[in-house]
Amino acid sequence: MPNIKWLIALGFLSTFILLYLHIGTSIDKWNTQPHPQTNQNKQIGDILIYNRIPKTGSTSLMNVAYELQSSNRYRVVQVRLLGSRHLLSPRDQQAIARNISAWSDLPMLLHGHFSYFEASVLGLDINPVFINLMRKPLDRLVSYYYFLRYGDDILVDKKRSKQGDKTTFDECVESSQPDCAPKKMWMQIPFFCGSSPACWDPGSKWALDQAKTNLVNRYLVVGVTEDLDSFVQVLEILLPKYFSGAVQYLKDTGKSHIKRTKHKDQLSEQTISKMSNSKIYQMEMEFYNFAMKHFKWIKKSLVDDQSNGFVYEKIRPKP
CA nearest 50: which of 96, 99, 112?
112
| Set 22, 35, 86, 111: catalytic member | 111
Tell me if residue 113 is catalytic: yes
Q: Measured in whole angstroms, how far is the alpha carbon of residue 260 from the centre of its chain?
A: 22
Mention every residue, 6+ apart, whose C-beta is less than 8 A from residue 260.
152, 153
By DSSP bridging, strand 75-78 and strand 47-51 are unpaired
Partnered with residue 223 across adjacent β-strands are 133
Tell me if residue 111 is catalytic: yes
Q: Walk across the sheet containing 75-78 and list its strands.
A: 75-78, 108-112, 47-51, 129-134, 219-224
Distance CA 83, CA 86 (A): 9
Quote the radius of gyration of the chain (alpha carbons, Å): 27
| Set 113, 257, 263, 294: catalytic member | 113
The phi and psi torsions of 304 (rounded to 5 degrees) equal: -75, -35
Just list the catalytic residues.
Answer: 111, 113
